[in-house]
């Protein structure tokens, strides 16, 4: 039986990963400081005594010994707020770079051999090649968030080579679905609940990106850790198409039964400082192992809107 540690396991993607690990019978310890996560995301497993939960901040001490005996760390914990990273770059550095280094050190000290890491399409910056493959260069992030994740990747690569560890690094497109508490869909639903007549859309609405639902994302991660066995494995995870922001607004308004919403665009080709206006990832590397995305971007958006409307 596998024993996995999931940092950030009380968050959106982390809690879905915990669901999948429990489902396949793994032992799981979640470490989370509940900064943006919520114990309610794990309620069922906690009630059934199926997982252990440790409320701890990776920037503090005291959690490291808990890693002893683990087969793998799924290092999901991070500050995921791309948009906020321009206001709090030092916090982003602490939670995404320093925390990752501390996890790697704890793994080295406690003898944990494997790490799976959730990175992001933003490591590519404004890529000249779209769909962007994993070996695209030069990697020049334009957000502090993207830079912090690229730094995390670099540390993991070095630890693999230096200390005989194995890693799977996953660069995600936009991951959406049940339990998400940020991002464009969440934003639109809440704005339209507050004012069903008008919707403010950041940028010109033509930002076009790839979206994938969270269950497919988690399935892709677990597929990769089972099928790829290099010492250091890097995979893009996303759908094979994209959708623009105005179409997302149309889907959200349609699902809310609103047909007369006036859109008010803030203008410019991007929503915020550090926003990449066009993003789609090449997923051929994972497809070559036999994985296929099960949903398109518009389908993932519609599913996510329905899940959010059902929960709030
Ligand atoms: P999330 O905020 O729901 O999850 C992050 C979790 O980490 C939260 O539960 C939070 O409480 C915890 N955490 C943060 N800092 C911590 C610390 N110092 N110590 C302990 N726990 C801490 O966000 P998410 O969208 O589920 O993102 C999960 C991962 O996927 C992140 O690494 C993020 O960068 C990455 N990612 C997400 C997307 C996306 O579209 N959602 C895209 C690319 C990459």
Taking only the tens place, the pLDDT of each residue in 241-259 is 999 999 999 999 999 999 9
Same domain? 97 vs 82: yes
CB 172 within 8 A of CB 156: no
CB 197 within 8 A of CB 261: yes
Report whether residue 54 contacts ligand 1, using a CB cutoff of 6 Å.
no
The verdict on 49 and 163 lying in the same domain is yes
pLDDT at 6 over 90: yes
Contact 289, 224 (CB under 8 A): yes
Same domain, residue pair 128 and 106: yes
Neighbours of 212 (CB within 10 A): 28
E strand or H helix that includes residue 31: strand 27-32
Distance 10 CA to ligand 1 centre (A): 9
64 lies in the same domain as 153 = yes
Distances (CA, A) of 10 to 6, 78, 297: 9, 12, 25
Examine the pLDDT at 149 and tell me if it is beyond 90: yes
Alpha-carbon span 220 to 226, nearest angstrom: 10
| Confidence (pLDDT) at 312 | 78
Q: How many CB atoms lie within 10 A of CB 278?
A: 17
| pLDDT at residue 49 tops 90 | yes
Query: Cα–Cα–Cα angle for 145, 141, 178, nearest 5°?
Result: 45
- Among 31, 64, 78, the mutation site with the greatest number of ligand 1 atoms within 8 A of its Cβ is 78
Among all residues, which ones are annotated catalytic? Answer: 145
156 in the same domain as 44: yes
Distance, in Å, from the CA atom of 64 to the CA atom of 112, rounded to the nearest integer, reads 11
Residue 145 CA: nearest ligand 1 atom is 34
What is the distance between the alpha carbons of residues 146 and 148, in angstroms, rounded to a whole number? 5
Centre of ligand 1 to C-alpha 11, Å, is 6
pLDDT for the residue numbered 1:
84
Q: At what angle do helices 214-227 and 12-23 cross, to 10 degrees?
A: 60
Q: For residue 270, give the CATH number of its domain.
A: 3.90.25.10
Q: 195-240: per-residue pLDDT in tens?
A: 999 999 999 999 999 999 999 999 999 999 999 999 999 999 999 9
- The b-or-e profile of 301-312 (16+ CB within 10 A means b, else e) is bbbbbebbeeee
Distance 75 CA to ligand 1 centre (A): 9
CATH code: domain of residue 227: 3.40.50.720
Residue with the nearest Cα to atom 1 of ligand 1? 11
Q: Are residues 267 and 129 in the same domain?
A: no
Dist. CA 32–CA 7, nearest whole Å = 6
Q: Is 80 in the pocket of ligand 1 (CB under 6 A)?
A: yes
The pLDDT mean for the chain works out to 97
Domain that includes residue 103, residue range: 3-175+211-237
Ligand 1 near 53 CB (within 6 A): no
How many whole angstroms separate alpha carbon 270 and alpha carbon 266? 9
In a shared domain, residues 189 and 296? yes
Q: Radius of gyration of the chain from Cα atoms?
A: 19
Determine the pLDDT at residue 85. Answer: 87
Q: 145 with 84, same domain? A: yes
């Amino acid at each position: 039986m596998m024993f996995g540690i999931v940092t950030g396991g009380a968050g959106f993607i982390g809690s879905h990963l915990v669901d999948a690990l429990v489902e396949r019978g793994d032992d799981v310890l979640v470490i989370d400081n509940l900064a943006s996560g919520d114990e309610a995301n794990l309620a069922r497993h906690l009630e059934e005594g199926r997982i252990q939960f440790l409320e701890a901040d990776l920037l503090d001490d005291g959690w490291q010994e808990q890693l002893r005996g683990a087969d793998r760390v799924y290092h999901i914990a991070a500050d995921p707020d791309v948009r906020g990273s321009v206001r709090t770059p030092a916090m982003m550095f602490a939670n995404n770079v320093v925390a990752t280094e501390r996890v790697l050190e704890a793994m080295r000290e406690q003898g944990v051999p494997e790490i799976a890491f959730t990175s992001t399409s933003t490591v590519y910056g404004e890529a000249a090649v779209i769909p962007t493959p994993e070996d695209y260069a030069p990697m020049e992030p334009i957000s502090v968030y993207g830079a912090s994740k690229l730094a995390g990747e670099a540390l993991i690569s070095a630890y693999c080579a230096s200390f005989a560890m194995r890693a799977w690094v996953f660069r995600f497109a936009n991951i959406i679905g049940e339990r998400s508490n940020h991002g464009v869909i969440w934003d639109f639903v809440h704005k339209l609940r507050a004012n069903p007549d008008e919707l403010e859309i950041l940028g010109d609405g033509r930002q076009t990106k790839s979206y994938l639902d969270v269950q497919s994302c988690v399935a892709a991660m677990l597929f990769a850790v089972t099928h790829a066995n290099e010492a250091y494995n890097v995979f893009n995870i996303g759908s094979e198409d994209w959708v623009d922001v105005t179409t997302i607004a149309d889907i959200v308004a349609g699902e809310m039964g609103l047909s007369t919403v006036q859109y008010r665009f803030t203008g410019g080709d991007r929503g915020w400082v550090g926003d990449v206006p066009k993003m789609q990832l090449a997923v051929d590397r994972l497809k070559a192992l036999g994985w296929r995305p099960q949903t398109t971007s518009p389908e993932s958006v519609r599913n996510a809107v329905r899940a959010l409307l059902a929960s709030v």
